[in-house]
Structures are given as structure tokens and as C-alpha cells.
Structure 1
Amino acid sequence: MTEFEKRLNRFLFRISSAKRRRLWLKLSKLLSNGVPIMDALGSMNERRIASAGKSDGVSIALSSWMDSIRNGHRLSDAIRNWVDNDEQMLIAAGEQSGSLHTALISVAEIMEAKQKIKAAVIGGLTYPLLMLIIAFSVLIMFSYKIIPEFSVIVPDEKWHGIARIMIDFANFSRNWMWLIVLVVLGSLTAFFVSLPKWTGGLRIHLDKYAPYSIYRVMQGGSWMISFAALVAAGVRVENALQYLARDSSPWLRVRTNACLTGMRSGLNVGDALARSGYGFPDLDIIDDLGIYSKLSGFDAAAAILGKEWIVESVNRIQGMMKVIFGISVLSVGFFIAFMVGGLIGMELQMSSIMQSSYR
């Protein structure tokens, strides 16, 4: 197998979250029944080869992991570059605490939670994107088809009022369509690039409002359930924060490191998050962490908070998406009403102009 094929298989396996989740659950079940790790991986690999062949991505991954373990590496080392960082970290924590099968279940739960959050975001963005496509289609139809036909019959200088506005708008759109498309695509690109990379300054305030607040809730939810799972697996809070900061986006790393700095100065995790001033992951979660950090059994409380925050994150994102959906519907509705109203005005003016020309 060439290096390119290895990289391709790793990439395809990393984006197949559903396959990985099923694999972790199967492996956890085998380990919890006392099956050694190599026997468990071998059994799963044999069944996978029998059903899908040796070229299947899961079979290739399992074979690679088994080779690595035979060479003296742990499972968490073998799966590096095959899975997401938080999965690898949590499995490593499970190996250190001696409860690998429990860690694998936690990994599967985190993957399911992230999928719910992602589904809420994608579902909420579908309708606004559809509205944008409709508005753009209407703009093209009017600018290139309908308005030019009116201009052929009646010269531009004879139009007035909303009809003249329509003519000028259509001419501008037709002449500068490339610029409009470039600005829209550039703005969208800049926005999505800024989500993980823009860290401070004005961004701190924008994180309070959509659409940046949606990213904050989405990332905050993933961060919270990963943090809770690491702490529940026996990882010290400071080490869990270091794990989460490592290889994360600049935006998330700055906020995690700010919490870590506060803890190193003697604060608990809740107070450290509050002191950072970022409002991350959420003010309510910060208050809860501040309270539970002072009590015994923080690991269990963090696990409960993580599961509660899954539901809360999905509900909040869905609520934000409803607002964005409403704004998009009103905006596109106003735009289409303007175009239709202008078209009616042009028809009335054209009738008047044509009648006066025959007198």
C-alpha cells in the first residue's frame, strides 16, 4: 500500500463517524466480557474481512492497529491520525485508569452528542441557504430576462418611480454580477474562516450574538462533554484542559488556555472560566462548574452537566436557527415583493406610455 493510499484510508476513516462509533461500542462490549484487546480486534477484523473484504476501510484500520500493538504500542497510540484528537485522548485516559471499555462507551456517547449538535446546525442552515438561492435566482431572472424585455419596448429614460429603480437595479446587477457573486462568496469564506481563527477583541462581543453565538454554543457543547468525559475517566482537571487545548482551533485554544491559567493561579475551573471574560462555554455552565468544583464528587457532577448540556446545546441552536430562518424568510419575502411590485409598476407605466404614443 502506497503512502497516498494510507493517507486516503485514514482520512476516509476519520470522516466516517458512524462506523467508528459502532466499532467502539463493539470493542467495548468485547473488552467488558474479558476478551483481550488483540483477540477482540482480531475477531472484529476477521468478521469485517468476511463481510466487506480486505480493502474495506475499517478492516485496514483494524489491521494497522493490530500491527502497532504487536510492536509494543498501546491502542491510543495505534489509533493516532486515524481518529479525532478527543477520541484518542479519552481512550488514552481510559487506558491509564484501567477502564478502557468505559472510555470507549464515553467516546461513542460523545460522538453521538456531537452528531446531534451538528445535525441541529445543518438542519437550521438548510432553509436560509435555500432562501438565498431563491433570492439569487429571482435576481438573475429579472436582471437577464424580464427587465431587458421591457427596456426593448420602452427606452430607459421614459421610466420613473419604482419602475426606474427596477431598471437601474437590473442594469447594475447585470453589469456587476461578477462583483456581487465575488462579494457574497468572499464574505461567506471570510466568515467561516474567522470562526475557528478569530480569537479576541471584537470577537468576544460578537460571540454573544448569532451567527457567532451558534459557533460558541456548538464548540462549547463539544468542549463540555469532552471535558466531562475526561474528568469522569480519572484525568485531573488541569490535564484534561491541556488535552483539550492541544491541537484545537486557535479560538478554542485561547479560551481553554485562559481557564488553565486561572486554575494555575489557584482558582477552580468555574471561577477560572468566569475570570477569563470570554463567557465560554456558557454563563450558566460557568456558574454550575463554579458551584460543583467546590464540592466532592466533581467528576460525577461534570458527567451529569455534560449530558445535560447536550440537550441544552441542541435546544439553543435550534432556537437560534429559528430566528435566522425567520429573518431570512422576511428578507427574501421583502426582496421578492419589491421585484414583483416593481414589475407591476412597470406594466402599468408601459401601458400608459403605449396608450399615449397612439394618441
Structure 2
Amino acid sequence: MTHPLDWLLLRLAVRRLRRRRGDFYYDLASALEDRVPLYTILRKLEARARRRSRGDQLLYRRMLRAAMGGSLARALQGVMPPTELLMIDALQGGGDERLSQGLHFLSGTVEKVDGMFRAVRKAVAYPLLLLGAMTGILVAFSLHAVPVLADLIDPARWPPLGRALYAVAWTIRHHGLTLGAAVLAAGGLFVWSLPRWQGRLRRRLDRHPPFSLYRDFSGAMLVISLSSLMRAGVSLRASLERAGRFSAPWMRWHLRQILSRLSGRESAQFGRAFATGVLNPTMEDRVQDAAERRDPVAAFVRIGVGSIDRLQLGISDSAARLNGLLMVAAAMLLLFLLGGFLATVMEAQSSLQSEMGGL
């Protein structure tokens, strides 16, 4: 049984190696170019780690055990992203020379891929922060400002906007925990459904934020993976079948449809087979155009290599639209809160003046 401290150190070592995997791929490729066996490389790394870090030692020891059969992809399973394992798994079948070339290619692209991940995180983080701020303002009004007004004047005498504010505040005070739990459950269900939910309704929702962010990112990563495999000499059909081994259920659903179309009328023009909703319209058009080129494989590879920077721009545009909608919602919420509060205050002042005038 693994000691809890060793488990933690191993997890930290995995995170460190994943962050610097570009350098790791480069060093590995350079050693393979010099015909150094994979097992010898990993054994040397494990010996170095033994003197420096307990976590790194545990990681390289685990990789050594997994690499006994000569499989680098198996050694890196659980350490590197599935899309990169997919390419490594395909490359190692072509010998150390092809694997070395592929690792050099990976070392040059992982920084861009990580930048794409950062763009996705940034696109998701700001809306979540804005929603949290809106929720905090609404709860503060409901627990503190509205009860003070209710003590000054009977809610039945409030203006219509004030009564709407009181109804919202009453609901939050009496059912806030239930509503909060429901929102958290809905958020958890949404995150869980992104890589799993399939069907016609999901295909329609993938055209709009926030589902389109996941669709754009996953679709671009698919094109990058396929182009990397085809660059290594793997056929399109074999690349799609390999991609299914490392994919989530949502992606496998699309891959099955693409493979089915390749076996049918779209087999002559493989670009049309990708019109399943897995790619955004712009990327779909590029893939279809590539299929009509004189060298379709080379054109497809160029799309994969050049799609990373374009995807970052696309994600930024989608995030800007989502953020704009949330800003409008936040402005409407503030107008509702301030409007209801000020209208009720003015009604309270008028009532007090009337009562004092009648004395």
C-alpha cells in the first residue's frame, strides 16, 4: 500500500513534469537520435532523481516499470495529456528515428497547446467570478438591506418594483441554501455532461456558449492530433480509430459518425465526413477545402499545425460574447436592486411625511 506522503509527492512530481514536458520531449528526442535505448534514458533519469527528489524518483521508477515492454506511451500514461499519448503511441511503431522526429515536433507545440489551455481557463474564470459577485450582491441585499426597509414600512405598501425585490429577498432568506445547493448541483452536472452528453439536442447546444467553448477546444485538439498522426504516416482511418482509444464519450460519438461516413458516400471527399458538429463552421470549411487539395494529407497537416493560434483567437471571441451577456445581466440586476430599494425608500419617506402631517 502506498504511503500517503509518497502519493502526494508522486502527484506533485507528475504536475512538475507535465509543466516542463516540452523540455522533457526535447531531451528524450535528442537521446533517441543518438540511438540511446528508451529504458537506458529512463533509468538515468531515475538515478538522477534519486539524489534530488523523492517524488521524481517515484515517478521515474513507475515509468521504468511501465516501459519494460519498450512502450513510451504506456510509460507516460497518467502523466501526459491523452492527445500527446495518442501521437506517441502511433509514432513508436515507426522506430526510434520517427519517434525522435515526433517528439521534436511535440516539444515545439506543447507551449502553444498550454497557451490554448490558459485561454480556455481565462474564458471560464471571468464569468464565474462575475456570477459570484452578482450572487454576493443579491444575498447582501436580501439579508441586510431589505429587512431594514420591511421594519420601516409594511411590504404590502411597497411599490411594484419594491414588492418584486421583497419577493426575491424572502425567497433567498427562506430557501437560499436549497437554491444554492441546486445551483451547485446544476453546475456539477453541466461539467460532468460536457465530455459525456450526446445526441441531437447536444449538437444544437454546441453551437452556443458555453457549450461552444468545449466544442471549439475539443474539435481543434482532434484536428491537431489527427494531423500529427497523419504527418507520421498513419492513415486517416487508422488515426481516427486511435483517437477513439484516448477520447471521452462525446468525442467517441463524433468519431463513430465520421468513420461511418468515411465508409459511405463521403469516402471520396473525407472533408464532408467531419460535418458532424465536432468542429466549428470555420474549421469544418478548412477541412473540406483541404480534402479537395492536390495533396489532402499535407493540407490537413497544415491546418492542424496552424489551428492553435487561431483557436486561441476564437476562444477569446466566444469568451468576449459570453462576458458581454453576463455584463448586461449584471447591469440589469443592479438596476433591479437599486431601483426597487430607492423606490421603496421614497415610498417610506412619503408615508412618514403623511403620518407626521396628520398629527
Q: TM-score, normalised by structure 1?
A: 0.88
Instruction: Measure how far apart 1:262 and its partner are.
Output: 1.9
Q: How many residues align?
A: 352
Whole-angstrom distance in 2 between the partners of 1:153 and 1:39? 81
Match of 1:79 among 76, 80, 92: 76
Q: Is the 2:153–2:348 contact (alpha carbons within 8 Å) kept by the matching residues of 1?
A: yes
Q: Is the 1:93–1:234 contact (alpha carbons within 8 Å) kept by the matching residues of 2?
A: no
1:209 aligns with 208
1:198 aligns with 197
Instruction: Measure how far apart 1:196 and its partner are.
Output: 1.3
Are residues 168 and 88 of structure 1, via their aligned partners in 2, closer, same or farther at CA, if it must alter by over 3 Å? closer
Are residues 5 and 304 of structure 1, via their aligned partners in 2, closer, same or farther at CA, if it must alter by over 3 Å? farther
Instruction: Measure how far apart 1:46 and its partner are.
Output: 3.4
1:310 aligns with 308
Are residues 201 and 279 of structure 1, via their aligned partners in 2, closer, same or farther at CA, if it must alter by over 3 Å? closer
For residue 199 of structure 1, what is the amino acid of its counterpart? Q
Q: Is the 2:119–2:315 contact (alpha carbons within 8 Å) kept by the matching residues of 1?
A: yes
User: Could you tell me the percent identity over the aligned residues?
Assistant: 24
Are residues 333 and 309 of structure 1, via their aligned partners in 2, closer, same or farther at CA, if it must alter by over 3 Å? same
Q: Is the 1:218–1:313 contact (alpha carbons within 8 Å) kept by the matching residues of 2?
A: yes
Q: Partner of 2:195: helix, strand, or coil?
A: helix
Q: Is the 1:154–1:350 contact (alpha carbons within 8 Å) kept by the matching residues of 2?
A: yes
Question: Runs of 5+ in structure 1 lacking a partner?
Answer: none
Q: Does 1:123 align with 2:122?
A: yes
Q: Is the 1:21–1:111 contact (alpha carbons within 8 Å) kept by the matching residues of 2?
A: yes
Q: Partner of 2:77: helix, strand, or coil?
A: coil
For residue 117 of structure 1, what is the amino acid of its counterpart? M
Match of 1:292 among 290, 293, 318: 290
Instruction: Measure how far apart 1:8 and its partner are.
Output: 6.3
> Relative to structure 2, which stretch is displaced further, 59-68 or 207-216?
59-68
2:107 aligns with 108
1:243 aligns with 242
Whole-angstrom distance in 1 between the partners of 2:283 and 2:166? 54
Q: Is the 2:39–2:70 contact (alpha carbons within 8 Å) kept by the matching residues of 1?
A: no
For residue 357 of structure 1, what is the amino acid of its counterpart? E
> Relative to structure 2, which stretch is displaced further, 164-173 or 109-118?
109-118
Are residues 356 and 124 of structure 1, via their aligned partners in 2, closer, same or farther at CA, if it must alter by over 3 Å? same
Q: Partner of 1:196: helix, strand, or coil?
A: coil
Q: Partner of 1:279: helix, strand, or coil?
A: coil
Instruction: Measure how far apart 1:268 and its partner are.
Output: 4.2
User: What does residue range 1-359 of structure 1 map to in structure 2 within 5 Å?
Assistant: 2=2, 15-16=15-16, 17-50=18-51, 52-53=52-53, 55-57=54-56, 59-69=57-67, 71-98=68-95, 99-265=98-264, 266-274=267-275, 278-293=276-291, 295=293, 297-359=295-357
Instruction: Measure how far apart 1:128 and its partner are.
Output: 1.5
Q: Partner of 2:62: helix, strand, or coil?
A: helix
> Relative to structure 2, which stretch is displaced further, 170-179 or 240-249?
170-179
Are residues 10 and 104 of structure 1, via their aligned partners in 2, closer, same or farther at CA, if it must alter by over 3 Å? farther
Instruction: Measure how far apart 1:257 and its partner are.
Output: 1.4
Whole-angstrom distance in 2 between the partners of 1:158 and 1:286? 59
The root-mean-square deviation of aligned C-alpha atoms, in Å, is 2.5
Are residues 329 and 290 of structure 1, via their aligned partners in 2, closer, same or farther at CA, if it must alter by over 3 Å? closer
Question: Runs of 5+ in structure 2 lacking a partner?
Answer: none
Whole-angstrom distance in 2 between the partners of 1:81 and 1:127? 29
